[in-house]
Amino acid sequence: MTVAVRLRPSSGVLLGVASLLGAVAFTWPLLVQPAGSENVAHAGDAPWVFIVLLPLLFGVVLAEVADGGLDAKAVALLGVLAACGSALRLPGGVAGFEPLFFLLIPAGRVLGRGFGFVLGALTLFASALLIGGIGPWLPFQMFGAAWVGFGAGCLPPMRGRAELVLLAAYGFAASLAYGLLLNLWFWPFGSSAGGDVAFVAGDAVVANLQRFWAFHLATSLGWDLARALTVVALLAVAGRPVLGALRRVARRAAFDAPVAFVAASPAEEVPCPPST
């Protein structure tokens, strides 16, 4: 299976830098006992993470454009899919019903890892503008969705029913992993639920993992399961037509077709009308 938009080396380096930034942003509070509470988690560093992340995303797009991986058609498709994904996230506050990954996963699958990474981050950014969800959590949501889109582009080649089963299984696992990761961004700053589920700096890793898992079970696992089951159901019902539509768009857009300029032959040249 070939992807519509291949990841070039220069943009791959930028994606690696962005992912490293995300990993550091998520994990540095685990190395110290951060001050404050979960209500002010990452209030100091989140704006800086966001300021660095956006130029990296634009850098990936520009690098792909410069290397020939993206053209105006692919950039337009990126904008359309980000807008559609933002609309899908609007009902996300209803008992975990969040069908965003239903579009993100097929798009990453068809259009490639780099496209999926940028699409995930831009979709969360655009949807935050729509629903007023701008806060210190936003860059972490952008990283989580970006990694989901990237992972979809890394799935092994399959077609037919096996591909739908693969995407549904990945959607289920990615939805749960996304919820787990989004708990991690604020958990080390303390928990109002009590000391049995709070992060303890300097304690054994296994003990802190047990507390984190207990916190996750007590707070958001039910919500994450609702998201995962929603994604699986939507992929089972409409995954095939969405994949087909994306592949038709990619095929007709011919993102990989080289652009060549050929001089017109004398017979094809149109003479200029005589001046009056």
271 domain-assigned: no
- Overall average pLDDT of the 95-102 stretch: 75
127 domain-assigned: yes
- Overall average pLDDT of the 139-143 stretch: 89
- Overall average pLDDT of the 188-214 stretch: 75
83 domain-assigned: yes
pLDDT at residue 172 greater than cutoff 90: yes
Mean pLDDT of all residues belonging to the chain: 80
- The domain tally of the chain equals 1
Crossing angle of helices 72-88 and 100-111, in 10° steps, is 160
Q: What secondary structure letter does DSSP report for 154? A: T
- Overall average pLDDT of the 96-109 stretch: 85
For 1-10, 95-104, 123-132, which range has the lowest pLDDT when averaged over its residues?
1-10
* pTM for the model: 0.81
275 domain-assigned: no
14 domain-assigned: yes
66 domain-assigned: yes
Three-class secondary structure of residue 94 per DSSP: strand
262 domain-assigned: no
The pLDDT value recorded for residue 135 is 80
153 with 115: CB under 8 angstroms? Answer: yes
> What residue numbers bound the domain in which 70 lies?
9-254
Q: What percent of the chain has pLDDT over 70?
A: 77
Residues 158 and 156: their CA atoms lie apart, in Å, by 6
Confidence of residue 261 (pLDDT cuts 50, 70, 90): very low
Higher pLDDT, 115 or 193: 115
The pLDDT value recorded for residue 26 is 85
Point out which residues pair with 206 in neighbouring strands.
none
The pLDDT value recorded for residue 272 is 59
The pLDDT value recorded for residue 48 is 82
Extract the tokens encoding 222.
């039910």
Higher pLDDT, 223 or 276: 223
Alpha helices (H) along the chain: 9-27, 46-67, 72-88, 100-111, 113-131, 138-153, 161-184, 205-219, 221-253
Crossing angle of helices 221-253 and 161-184, in 10° steps, is 130
267 domain-assigned: no
pLDDT at residue 36 greater than cutoff 50: yes
Spatial neighbors of 222 by CB under 8 A, at least 6 apart, are 96
